[in-house]
Amino acid sequence: MNARLRLRVFAVAGTALFAALVWGFVGLPDFGSFDGAYGQLLNRLSVPDRASTDVVTTVNFDFREFDTLGEEFILFAAVVGVASLLRTLRGEHVATPDDDVPGRRVPETSLVVGVTGTLLVAPTVLIGIYVVLHGHQTPGGGFQGGVILATGLLLTYLTADYMTMRRVGPTALIEAAEGAGAAGFVLIAIGGLLFAGSFFENFLPIETAGQLISAGTIPLGNLAVGLAVTGGFAFMLSEFLQQTLIKRRREVR
Amino acid sequence: MADLSPLAVAIPLVVAAVLVGAAVVLPRPVVDAASLAAAIGVAVLCALVLSDVADGRVVYWFGGWTPRHGAAVGVSFAIDEIGAALALFVALTFVGAFMFSWRYFVVVGPFFHALMLVFLAAMVGFSFTGDLFNLFVFFELLSVSAYALVAYDIEEEGPIQGALNFAVTNSVGAFFILSGIALLYGRTGALNMAQIGQTLAGSHVDGLVVISFTLITVGFLTKAAVVPFHFWLADAYSVAPTPVCMLLSAAMSELGLYALARVYWTVFSGALGGGEESLQVVFISAGVLTALVGALLCFGARHLKRMLAFATIAQIGLFLTGLGLLDSGAMAGAALLVAADGCLKASLFVSVGALQHLFQSVDELRLRGRARRLRVTGPLVVLCALGVASLPPFGPWLGKALIEEAAGDAGYGWLPVVFVVTSALTSGALLRAAGRVFVGWGPRTDPIAAGAAAAPDEVDPELQYRHDRVPRTMTTPAVALAVAGLALGLVPGMREAVLDAGAGFVDRSAYAAAVLHGVTGLQAEAETIQPGVGSVATGLLTVALALGLAAVALFRERAPGAVDRAETLAAGVLGRLRALQTSHAGDYVTWLTLGTATLAAIFALTLTS
Amino acid sequence: MSVLPYVVAAWLVLVGLYGIVTSRNLLHLVVCLAVMQSSSYLLLLSIGYVKDAEPPIFADVPPTTPAVDPIVQALTLTDVVVGTTVTALLLALAVQTHKRYGTLDPEELRPKRPQA
């Protein structure tokens, strides 16, 4: 179809679809008056049964941990996919990064950015670790904390240059973190099978709510996911940066 | 024993993670062996689960969270015969794909195998699960792995847009599924399929139920490549490496239909049962349209992978008609047909891969006569083609016979005509290609294929190989899969077992009792369907028609003028159909929107109570 | 205004799809897909909202306090991860497309002859 025909067809179809969606959506309970029994049940169970005060984390890492397994591996698959898509092709060679060559075309990072970035890296990493570890007590968890940690690595690039980022986070280490996190999560699941009788069953002592070491395997799950997410996002970031800064097409003579 | 089912998902995931984590130190043979071992392990586990299911549905609750007062607290697997058999079939196809990849890729990193293992785990979990959101998570997992795998060979000459169009259209479909699930959660407050079904059963069917059904249906139909959501498939197959095509064709699209059937029977059948007739009309029409479009484009193709892609679409159409009859006997026939045809298609893809491996081409016209010396591959392709043409008494014939009998009982007595035409066209295309490539018959050009996309000659060093024999790691899976597909019709007791499985699949109350209350022994009465002389005649007619079409295409010089007129007509129709395949993501999404809006309108008019 | 969030969610779907259909740049297309996916986040979270209720975090409040639905929040978390990863894959595809063809315009990327 050419662009005009496409637009005309979509105008009709899109309007009809919008009307249909609205017609369906208004069948939902009024905004603010949801009384789903499932959610309320889990709200009531989380603290006494699992000593975890953050119910969303309990849902993700205990009640419905199998969903999180799938989600974790979606991230894994996407990271591996990005890595294989952006790998060095025939006809490309790896050159010196743009920000490292003499007579560089990319402007130097300014002093303000350098200082601010350097000051921010440590707190970012610390907050990231905090969010990962305290997932079962306060809002947060492996996914959220992992992204913050990956941002710490990106800050290194913004503050300094690409080669510094590579030194801080070498590819082998990041890949290993990704694989270890993903495998670790499955091992927790199998641990549940071996030690507690059911796949993903919480098999460590629950302790009391409010303590850092509590809620059984939930903090372990958070750790594994945090490791995997950090590795995954850092890997993807470095792959994309490699594309723009380093990989060059071989010039055709 | 029930503990085995989660292991079937966990083991490939662990192996994939290890392969990536240790990527720098693992040599290629270790990677190949580990993946193959993992796939075989999964197949063994699935076989054990299948034997378990014979005694009643297997329900496995994760984390020890069993239901309280009939309400689910955690996520469950709810495995019946069809789910377990599908998982076993998928695992065996993966074993074949890993064997095939051994030599197909001369150099490949561990990323390919890791992605394939995740793909396998996702499909197994998808077949086993009893929770609607878990179904969506595994759906996305298998989709993301598929996007990455299809785009794997980025150095190929095939257009990259194929992978992009695939990813964009299927992501829109997945988004629709999630919206549908959100609506159901808003109405019922549950995510377990049995529980949602119980809550919806007998309730008033209003806009929310209709729209959630529409959205979920569209999402799965997009994955299954049903017209008009099918455009992505041909593009993706031209760009994906052949082992991946094998899996997409044999397993992925069929899983989309499986999920549609599963969600309909466990979640919606209680509420929408009153509108069964209109649902039948909609799904059967979509199936017939898909089958005919796929079959025509298949016959007009010269790029062998595209030919098989369109054959896949045609068969999806046939499967959908089986499901659309909303009957346990037809369901049984469709399940059997999926397994049998899936094995044959996988075998055909391996053979095409072998041709690609030896001759660096997948173009039917350019390969003319070059494969004369392949003693095993040639006859094997012919055998698969005859199987596809439902030669009695083999697997595909038995599946189609069951569907045709059920169709007759439901008042759709004209359905066998569609089956004959579709199977004759697809099989005819395959036989014509076999004649041209392996024997050298046929002219150098073909007016029907004149407008078709030619396959570029590949000069990819990744695929070049010095020998001129097909490696044993390619012939073995091809032969094994072909034999399996054909033999499914010969196994004693298969017909009764499949009919039993079909009866269990459509029984919503027994499913809910098993999942929510642990009562697993209930077994519905299966109707007895005995394929009669009529089905045998239909099968033989299809084979004769297929051979005739192939002969006409190959030996046109000796044919009368009527054939020329038929060919001009066919070329005209094909030209129109081909023009729609534009490789433009915006076009495809427009079709998707149009299809969704149309379905919503039809369902709104016919299903609301 | 008890259905406003749901109508906004439907509107986002339409806007996102419109963007995809009329896009002249692959990066723009990917972002429009993300916009469309964000409508599912809005839909899910609006469904679970309970008026005058606390977030489902019981660190400082007794566990019997009325709280909003935690399930939809967990579902949204999963959804966000899925959306981000698909976006990353699509962007990687866009990078490779630009490297090979020198353009990101779907109209120009169209093959000259239909691929069937």
Quick check: B23 pLDDT over 80?
no
Quick check: B498 pLDDT over 50?
yes
Position B260 scores a pLDDT of: 96
CA distances in angstroms from B462 to B23, B238, B278, B558, C106, listed in the order given:
19, 17, 51, 43, 29
* Cβ-Cβ contacts under 8 Å, C23 against chain B: 585-586
| B488 in Cβ contact with B390 (< 8 Å) | no
Average pLDDT of chain B is 88
Mean pLDDT on B143-172: 87
Phi then psi for residue B336, to 5 deg, are -65, -40
Higher-confidence residue of A101 and A36: namely A36
Identify the residue whose tokens are 């109570």: B609
Phi then psi for residue A135, to 5 deg, are -60, -30
Quick check: B420 pLDDT over 90?
yes
* Candidate from A40, A75, A139 with C-beta closest to C85: A75
3-state SS string for B471-539: CHHHHHHHHHHHHHHHHCCCCCCHHHHHHHHHHHHCCHHHHHHHHHHCCCCCCCCCCCCCCCHHHHHHH
Beta-carbon count within 10 A of A31 CB: 17
Domains along the sequence of chain C with CATH: 4-57+65-109 (1.10.287.3510)
Q: Which amino acid is at C2?
A: S
Which stretch of A89-93, A135-139, B403-407 has the lowest confidence by average pLDDT? Answer: A89-93
Quick check: B224 pLDDT over 50?
yes
Give me the residues of A, 51-90, that contact B with CB < 8 A: 62-67, 69-71, 73-74, 76-78, 80-85, 87, 89-90
Q: Which amino acid is at A244?
A: T
Position B465 scores a pLDDT of: 52
CB neighbour class for A187 (10 Å; exposed up to 12, middle 13-18, buried from 19): middle
- Contact at CB, C75 and B182, closer than 8 angstroms: yes
Q: Quick one: closest CA in A to B15, which residue?
A: A183
Residue C55: cis peptide before it, omega within 30 degrees of 0: no
Q: What is the distance between the alpha carbons of residues B490 and B493, in angstroms, rounded to a whole number?
A: 9
Binned at pLDDT 50, 70 and 90, residue B290 comes out as: very high
Quick check: A98 pLDDT over 70?
no
Which stretch of B62-71, B163-172, B196-205, B416-425 has the lowest confidence by average pLDDT? Answer: B62-71
Mean pLDDT on C15-21: 95
* Cβ-Cβ contacts under 8 Å, C90 against chain A: none
Position A247 scores a pLDDT of: 67
Q: What is the distance between the alpha carbons of residues B72 and B52, in angstroms, rounded to a whole number?
A: 23
Q: What is the distance between the alpha carbons of residues B322 and B284, in angstroms, rounded to a whole number?
A: 8
Binned at pLDDT 50, 70 and 90, residue B380 comes out as: very high
Quick check: B19 pLDDT over 70?
yes
Binned at pLDDT 50, 70 and 90, residue A253 comes out as: very low
Binned at pLDDT 50, 70 and 90, residue B253 comes out as: very high
Quick check: B597 pLDDT over 70?
yes
Binned at pLDDT 50, 70 and 90, residue C113 comes out as: low
| B579 in Cβ contact with B161 (< 8 Å) | no
Position A249 scores a pLDDT of: 62
Q: What is the distance between the alpha carbons of residues C62 and A48, in angstroms, rounded to a whole number?
A: 11
B13: closest CA among B40, B44, B35?
B35
Binned at pLDDT 50, 70 and 90, residue B287 comes out as: very high
- Contact at CB, C14 and A239, closer than 8 angstroms: no
Q: Which of A42-46, B312-316, C51-55 has the highest mean pLDDT?
A: B312-316
Quick check: A214 pLDDT over 80?
no
Mean pLDDT on B308-320: 95
Q: What is the pLDDT of residues C20-69, one digit of tens each?
A: 999 999 999 999 999 999 999 999 999 999 988 889 988 888 888 888 99
Q: Which of B589, B591, B592 to mutate to test the interface with C (most CBs of C within 10 A)?
A: B589
Higher-confidence residue of C62 and B48: namely B48
pTM, whole model, 2 decimals? Answer: 0.94
Quick check: B21 pLDDT over 50?
yes
For residue A167, give the H/E element and its range.
helix A162-168
Q: What is the distance between the alpha carbons of residues B220 and A102, in angstroms, rounded to a whole number?
A: 55
Quick check: B464 pLDDT over 70?
no
Alpha-carbon gap: B576 to the closest alpha carbon of chain C (Å)? 10
Sequence-distant (≥ 6) Cβ neighbours of residue B313 within 8 angstroms: B225, B227, B230, B233, B234, B290, B293, B294, B297, B298
Quick check: B399 pLDDT over 60?
yes
Counting every residue, how long is chain B? 609
- Contact at CB, C89 and B578, closer than 8 angstroms: no
Position A252 scores a pLDDT of: 44
Higher-confidence residue of B3 and A225: namely A225
Percent of chain B at pLDDT exceeding 90: 51
- Contact at CB, B584 and C110, closer than 8 angstroms: yes
Instruction: Give DSSP secondary structure letters for B20-88.
Output: HHTTTT--HHHHHHHHHHHHHHHHHHHHHHHHHHTTS-EEEEGGG---BTTB--S-EEEE-HHHHHHHH
Higher-confidence residue of A210 and B331: namely B331
Q: Which amino acid is at B606?
A: T
Binned at pLDDT 50, 70 and 90, residue B79 comes out as: very high
Higher-confidence residue of A213 and C58: namely C58
B98: closest CA among B467, B474, B484, B465?
B474
Q: What ipTM was assigned to the predicted interfaces of this complex?
A: 0.96
Token duo for residue B200: 């919806």
Quick check: B215 pLDDT over 80?
yes
